[in-house]
Amino acid sequence: MKPPRSPQFLARETYRMRRLMDAARFLPVLGVVLVLLPLMRHSPQTEAPPTASEGVYLFLVWFGLIAGSFLLSRGLRRTLDIPKRQPRPSAPSKD
Amino acid sequence: MEKRVLVIEDEPNISEALRFILTRDGWRVDVSADGLTAMGAMQSDPPDLLILDLMLPGVSGFDILKTLRGQAMTRDLPVLMLTAKGQSADRDEAERLGVTRFMTKPFANADVIATVRELAGP
Amino acid sequence: MSFNMLVLTCLAYVILLFVVASLAERSADEGRADWLRSPAVYTLSLSVYCTAWTFYGAVGYATRSGLEFMTIYLGPTLVFVGWWVLLRKLVRIGRENRVTSIADMISARYGKSNLLGVIVTLLCIAAGTPYIALQLQSISQSFTVFVTDPVGASLAGDRTLIAFWVAVGLAFFTIAFGTRNLDANEQHHGVVTAIAVEAVVKLVALLAVGIFVVWFVASGPADILARIDAQALPEWEIQPGRWSGLILLSAIAIVCLPRMFQVLVVENTNDQHLATASWAFPLYLFLISLFVLPIAVVGMELMPEGSNPDMFVLTVPLALGQDGLALLSFLGGFSAATSMVIVASLALATMVSNHIVVPLWLKLRAARSLDQGDMRLLVLSVRRLSITLVLALGYLYYVVTGGSEALAAIGLIAFVGVAQVLPALLGALFWRGASRTGAALGLIVGMALWFYTLFLPSFGPDILMSAQLMQEGLFGLSWLRPYSLFGISTLDPLLHALFWSLMLNALVFCLGSLLSFPSPIERVQGALFVDVFDRSGPARSWTRPVAEAEDLLPMAQRILGPIEGQAFFRAQAEAQGKQGFLPDITPEFLEALELKFSGSVGAATAHAMLAQSVGTAVVSVEDLMAVASETAQIMEYSAQLEAKSEELSRTARKLRDANEMLQKLSVQKDAFLSQISHELRTPMTSIRAFSEIMMDSDAMSPEERAHFAQIIHDESIRLTRLLDDLLDLSVLEHGQVQLNIAPVQLRDLIDKAIRSSESVQADRKFRILRNRDPEGLEIITDAGRLTQVFINILSNARKYCISDDPQMQIKVRSRKDKVEVDFIDNGAGIPRDKQALIFEKFSRLTDSMQAGGAGLGLAICREIMHNLGGDITYVPGQGGAAFRVSFPMVLQPRDADARAAQSQASVAE
């Protein structure tokens, strides 16, 4: 029988996994902030826009997000391994 | 006028045998394989004796017997019941329903003739 | 390069795709599809996001607006990086509910409402058509750019002609691989694999051009950066509104675009793939975008003033004499366009057939005629027709508009259109209170605003919308001007439309949901979707058994096909611990059946069909209580209680079944002796009577004597045959039978059986329908015994099939090493209460003596089939009596021994 409510204190392993899930939720928020940063860097009235440097910055942020996502997905993969539900009896065997 | 015997039997060979031995003994013999039709005919023109098989397609011999006993025209009609099953339970049931005589197959021809003479004789 | 050369290249490339797709389909059929279902293929298939608009348009976009092109790829990146929040849930729900399209998803969540399905479908078609036109345009444009020889140029210049043939070719490909079968899950291995190959081609092509530009034209990254700054225009300034608005828009589009939903959700097989795609797909987008700006800058330096920046990816290598590179780049663009068109038309066609045509068809026909006509064929043809229709629409759009717009504009307009699904979709995933009314109103408002403020004006003044209206607003009301609704005039048209349509859409959606009261089934579905990760077992929406399994089987066969339908019912019955094809109608069974149907015809239709058959009691009191109770605890607890009591009643039902069977058997045992007695006495009566007649009468004509002797002879033969049958049965039951195993043609056996059975009631005309091709199988078995079984079935049909125009259908199927032969007549069939008994001894259904047999035939058949390592079963719901004989194609003597031993053991029980 499943406990009705999740216990509040968890084993170390489970605790780490929970924080990993939190990190997975924060990462896109961080991403949004980082890709919106160029908007605040300089006023549109100045000379020609610094396209090259902003481009390099954006690609670096982009790559950072990919790397972060890569690490997180490796960690979270384990939680996916356990199927949350029994396979339905109806599921065709070729699935 | 010669007396009439009606045979309700779905095995053609058995009814042919009955027809042969009874005709030879001087009876007029009608044969029917279909209980329902025969029952209808009996209401207007009852025979002097009915020879009835127990296992028939559709309605069983018991059903026919029960119906006949409920009708005024055929309440007292002599009925000779023949069966190949030969279980005592069947004999009891037949007697409860008012059969006149009960015989198991295979029969001796002489017994059949004797019984017919006894039941429908003058 | 010559025109012919280019066409040949394209053809060769398309043939390659065909080969890849058919190989993939074949290995999927053979069950070797593991590599097809790898995370890499999944990620690559997601790249249908990058269409020709990306391949050609991104460089043009960068030339015009600098870094802004990146927004189109940053939005999806953020969504994928945040997969844990949104995509994981979306994909899980989609998979668990066998969702077939985004319209199906919305319709399923909001009470399986078909109205919503129709609205979303129409919206997707309106937004998808210009997008498909855009792909056709880019292909024909690239042809024009590429062909330089004067002869070809005139041909290549005829853009509508090229677009036409491209559309025809793509329709053919999509139909060939997208509608091969109507299988659960709407998954298409061939298409997905071909798309993955195209993804690699377009990435390699763009990278090749990029590397060439950076390291061979310029002298490395530093030089390129310098050149970028040198070329930078004032318009390249990042505009805050557009920058954030477009990131938002592209983030929405990645989940709402029908084609993305198709590859992301419908074709997904497990969560692991999504975990990989969460970083791999952003990486793909990263690589695609990396060289866009360098190519744009070099194009601006090299190409003459006024040349089309949308074609720089092609024209730059051409201008530098790199024909090979240009050809590769051409193929990349071709890949990008074709993959988009294939997936988009497939997704749109699924929606059109599931939400518009099939429901209409169902409505037009009464519920009763559901099982007339083959549903599968209907659905497949509708889907083929829809694909053709969608592509024809795209082509028409292209011809009518002349394809003059800059590529990017059209893509963004489509994005805003599909974005209207977002409020309803997010509500579906996260808000249990979201209701059908709210979703429908929101969608309609959003769609209307999109039409008015963006789609219609995008054609330019005086085409679909008069210039006067655009200037002065609807009815001359200035606050209704399409480009500055309610006086908002500082936003550019795209943002303006996005802002108002999404804003009012969401507002109406929320208000509608708050004010309306959802139907019970909506609330059940709402709980099912929103709490997808909290449930420990499938929620129940079917609780009251109303229909008979026998009524549902024919319907299942129409939709899933006879083989799969029967296999499904049999598996379900087995899971319940029952024999045969008819499971108990439990809520679990109905739910599984509905789910199975949804894979073929969509959730709303599947639900409607089952509701029609099962009766109107769709949701029970228990469900309402489950929905109403706010605490998950109570729900959980009651669900467990329910499961327990259900298990108890299941066990009780099984016991009752077994008991009934035993009682029936014991009655039969008693009847057995009485039966044997009867069967023996009947011929003996005739024999005795006639022999007595012959003994005691001398005066008998020779004819009479011969006739009577004949009767005695016939009856003794009948007696012998009966004894033979009894003996045969006893030998078979005890596994002492000697089998003569030899190779033989199945067709010959059937021929022989038909000939032999013709003597039974020879005066009756009996039509035999058979297909001789599948019968041409060589099998290794005991031919004599198998023929005996066939003859028995055929003779029974001749005796008992009461049709005026009796006919017998013989169907042969072979699967792996098993052969199945179905014998189906058009008589009355066997009543359900008798189906379990017909294989028992002396279980004649009628008392008819003239049938001649003693009721041992089918019992013997069953024993024979067990001895041959197979079985004979009665298949209910086929329109007449239907027997299925199954046996191994090659009977190993060992198996036979084992079978016999087993058969003996079961007798010993």
Write out the DSSP string of chain B: ---EEEEE-S-HHHHHHHHHHHHHTT-EEEEES-HHHHHHHHHHS--SEEEEESS-SSS-HHHHHHHHHHSTTTTT--EEEEESS--HHHHHHHHHTT-SEEEESS--HHHHHHHHHHHH--
Tens digits of residue pLDDT in C276-335: 899 999 999 999 999 998 998 888 888 887 778 888 888 888 888 888 888 888 889 888
**Overall average pLDDT of the C343-355 stretch:** 85
Residues of chain C neighbouring B56 (CB-CB closer than 8 A): 847
SS3 (DSSP) at C544:
coil
Hey, what CATH class is C639-730 in?
mainly alpha
Q: What is the pLDDT of residue C844?
A: 57
Chains A and C touch (3+ CB pairs under 8 A): yes
pLDDT score of C511? 92
Q: What is chain B's mean pLDDT, rounded? A: 86
pLDDT at C879: 78
What's the pLDDT score for residue A44?
A: 57
| Helices C39-46 + C189-211 axis angle, to 10 | 70
pLDDT at C597 over 50: yes
In this prediction the pTM is 0.60
Nearest residue to C781 via CA among C733, C822, C740? C740
Mean pLDDT (chain C) is: 78
Mutate to test the interface with B, among C680, C686, C694 (most CBs of B within 10 A): C686
Contact: A32, C78; criterion CB under 8 Å = yes
CB contact under 8 Å between A90 and C571, yes or no, is: yes
Which of B60, B84, B109 shows the shortest C-beta gap to C681? B84
Residue with tokens 């899933």: C560
Interface test with C, best of A2, A18, A32, A42 (most C CBs within 10 A): A32
DSSP string, C581-615: S-----HHHHHHHHHHHHHHH-HHHHHHHHHHHH-
CB proximity C93 to A under 8 Å: no
Model confidence pLDDT, tens digit, residues A8-38: 455 677 777 888 888 888 998 999 998 888 8
CB contact under 8 A, C67 and A58: yes
Kindly report which listed range (A84-88, C43-47, C531-535, C749-753) carries the lowest average pLDDT score.
Answer: A84-88
pLDDT tens digits, one per residue of C428-474 = 888 888 888 899 999 999 999 898 888 887 776 666 666 666 666 66
> Looking at the partner chain, which of C239, C278, C536 has a beta carbon nearest the beta carbon of A69?
C278
What are the two backbone dihedrals, phi and then psi, of residue C113, each rounded to the nearest 5 degrees?
Answer: -85, 125
Give the model's confidence band at C681: pLDDT under 50 very low, under 70 low, under 90 confident, else very high: confident
pLDDT of C73 = 92
Which residues of chain B make contact with C696, given a CB cutoff of 8 A? 109
Classify residue C867 by burial, with Cβ atoms within 10 Å: 0-12, 13-18, 19+: buried
Q: How many CB atoms lie within 10 A of CB C330?
A: 25
Task: Give the percent of chain C with pLDDT over 70.
Answer: 80
Instruction: Inform me whether the pLDDT recorded for C184 exceeds 50.
Output: no
The answer to whether residue C901 scores a pLDDT higher than 60 is: no
- In this prediction, residue C203 carries a pLDDT of 92
Cβ atoms within 10 A of the Cβ of C768, count? 15
What is the architecture, at CATH level 2, of domain B4-120? 3-Layer(aba) Sandwich (3.40)
* Contact with chain A for residue C232, Cβ under 8 A: yes
CATH numeric code, C3-401: 1.20.1740
**Hey, where are the domains in chain C?**
3-401, 421-533, 536-628, 639-730, 735-908
Residue B94 has pLDDT above 80, yes or no: yes
Per DSSP, C838 falls in state T
Testing the interface with B: which of C673, C682, C695, C844 to mutate, by most B Cβ within 10 A? C682
Q: Which residues of B touch C685 (CB under 8 A)?
A: 11, 14, 17, 84, 105-107
Residue C473 confidence (pLDDT): 67
Joined together, the tokens standing for residue B44 give 């207007």
Verify whether the Cβ–Cβ distance B55 to C678 is below 8 Å: yes
Nearest C-alpha in C relative to A58 = C70
Q: C518-522, C667-671, C784-788 — which is least confidently predicted?
A: C667-671
Angle (CA) C551 C555 C559, round 5°: 165
| Res. C18: pLDDT tops 60 | yes
Please choose, from the candidates C182, C258, C171, C175, the residue with its C-alpha nearest in 3D space to the C-alpha of residue C602: C182
C800: nearest Cα among C752, C837, C853, C750: C853
Q: Is the pLDDT of residue C729 over 90?
A: no
Q: Which residues of C touch A2 (CB under 8 A)?
A: 536, 636
Cα C273 to Cα A83, C3, C89, C96, C287: the distances in Å are 14, 42, 14, 16, 20
E-assigned strand segments in C826-905: 871-874, 882-888
Beta-carbon separation of C81 and A31 below 8 A: yes
* Mean pLDDT for the stretch of residues C823-830: 84
Task: Report the CATH number of the C735-908 domain.
Answer: 3.30.565.10
User: Is the Cβ pair B18, C689 closer than 8 Å?
Assistant: yes
Determine contact: C691 vs chain A, CB below 8 A. no
> Helix (H, G, I), strand (E, B), or coil: what is residue C517?
coil
HEC per residue, C623-659: HHHHHHCCCHHHHHHHHHHHHHHHHHHHHHHHHHHHH
DSSP string, C184-244: GGG--HHHHHHHHHHHHHHHHHHHHHHHIIIIIISSSHHHHHHHHHHH--GGGSPPHHHHH
pLDDT at residue C537, rounded to an integer: 41
Q: Evaluate if residue C478 carries a pLDDT over 80.
A: no
- pLDDT of C675 above 90: no
User: Binning pLDDT at 50, 70 and 90, where does residue B114 land?
Assistant: very high
Q: Which amino acid makes up residue C305?
A: E
Looking at residues A52-56, what average pLDDT do you find?
84
Domain range spanning residue A23? 12-37+53-81
Least confident range of C282-296, C812-826, C889-903: C889-903
> CA C284, CA C274: separation in Å to the nearest integer?
14
- Does C150 have pLDDT greater than 70? no
CA distances from C335 to C282, C332, C339 (A): 20, 5, 6
Number of domains in chain A: 1
pLDDT the model gives residue C616: 39
In degrees rounded to 5, what are phi and psi of residue C496?
-60, -50
pLDDT value of position C282:
93
Query: Nearest CA of chain C to the CA of B83: how many Å?
Result: 8
Which residues of C are less than 8 Å from A81 in CB distance? 272
pLDDT at C892 over 50: yes
C29 Cβ under 8 Å from any chain A Cβ? no
Distance from CA of C703 to the nearest CA of B (A): 14
For C134, other C-beta atoms within 10 Å of its C-beta total 30
**Mean pLDDT throughout C696-717?**
84
Radius of gyration of chain B from Cα atoms? 13
Q: List, in order, residues 6 or more apart from B93 with CB less than 8 Å away.
A: B62
pLDDT tens digit sequence for C409-429: 777 888 899 999 999 999 988
Structural contact between residues C733 and C725, judged by C-beta atoms closer than 8 angstroms = no
pLDDT of A63 strictly over 90? yes
C283 at interface of A, judged by CB pairs closer than 8 A? yes
Whether chain C has a CB inside 8 Å of the CB on A82: the answer is no
Q: Is the pLDDT of residue B80 over 90?
A: yes
| A&C contacts, CB < 8 Å | 150
Confidence check: pLDDT of C862 > 60:
yes
The residue with greater pLDDT, C586 or C477, is C586
* Angstroms from C832 CA to nearest CA on chain A: 25
Confidence (pLDDT) at C234: 75
Q: Is C595 on the interface with A (CB under 8 A)?
A: yes
Q: What is the pLDDT of residues C37-80, one digit of tens each?
A: 788 888 998 988 888 888 888 888 888 888 888 999 999 999 99
Higher pLDDT, A45 or C357: C357
CB contact under 8 A, C636 and A4: yes
Q: A95 and C269 in contact by Cβ < 8 A?
A: yes
Q: Lowest-pLDDT range, B33-47, C234-248, C574-588?
A: C574-588
**Cβ C472 vs Cβ C434: under 8 Å:** no
Q: Do B21 and C689 touch (CB under 8 A)?
A: yes
Q: Which pairs with CB-CB distance under 8 Å and at least 24 residues apart come from B14-21?
A: B14/B53, B14/B105, B14/C682, B14/C685, B14/C686, B14/C689, B16/C711, B17/B109, B17/C685, B17/C686, B17/C689, B17/C690, B17/C693, B18/B51, B18/B112, B18/C689, B20/C693, B21/B109, B21/B112, B21/B113, B21/C689, B21/C693
SS3 C779: strand
Beta strands at C818-825 and C807-815: parallel, antiparallel or unpaired: antiparallel
Chain A residues in contact with C85 (beta carbon < 8 A): 24-25, 28
| pLDDT digit string, tens, across residues C236-293 | 878 888 888 999 999 999 999 988 998 888 888 788 888 889 999 999 999 999 999 8
Query: Are C682 and B105 a contacting pair at CB < 8 A?
Result: yes
Q: Decide: C262 and C104 in contact? Cβ < 8 Å.
A: no
Which of C681, C685, C848 is opposite residue B57, by nearest beta carbon? C848
Residue A33 in any domain: the answer is: yes
Under a CB-based contact definition with an 8 Å cutoff, are residues C520 and C541 in contact? no
Supply A42's token pair: 């300089």
Q: Give contacts of A 5-24 with C, CB under 8 A.
A: 5, 21, 24
Q: Does C244 touch chain A (CB under 8 A)?
A: yes
Q: How far apart are CA C84 and CA A23, in angstroms?
A: 10
